[in-house]
Amino acid sequence: MSYKNKLRKSILWFGLVLEDLISAKVCHLSNKKEAQKFPVLLLNQVNTHNTLFIASVIISSKL
């Protein structure tokens, strides 16, 4: 496997791990009553998760 393929897979894997971690945090917060007071916080975390994942896909496709 070439260096670029390894790098591409590593970046995609990193994006997926971040996606899972942030999704788990959003689920954890949404199960708490305090989270109902902060819907913007949940929305920001979901947007961050989407942006990180999309960025990792774009970076890996440019290699």
- pLDDT score, position 5: 77
Average of per-residue pLDDT across 57-63 = 65
pTM comes to 0.41
Q: Where do we find the tokens 């990792």?
A: 56
Report the percentage of the chain scoring pLDDT > 70: 25
**Tens of pLDDT along 33-53?**
555 554 555 555 556 666 666
Average of per-residue pLDDT across 12-37 = 64
Kindly state the tokens that stand for 11.
């970046």
Task: Report CA 30 to chain centroid distance, whole Å.
Answer: 17
**What's the whole-number average pLDDT of the chain?**
65
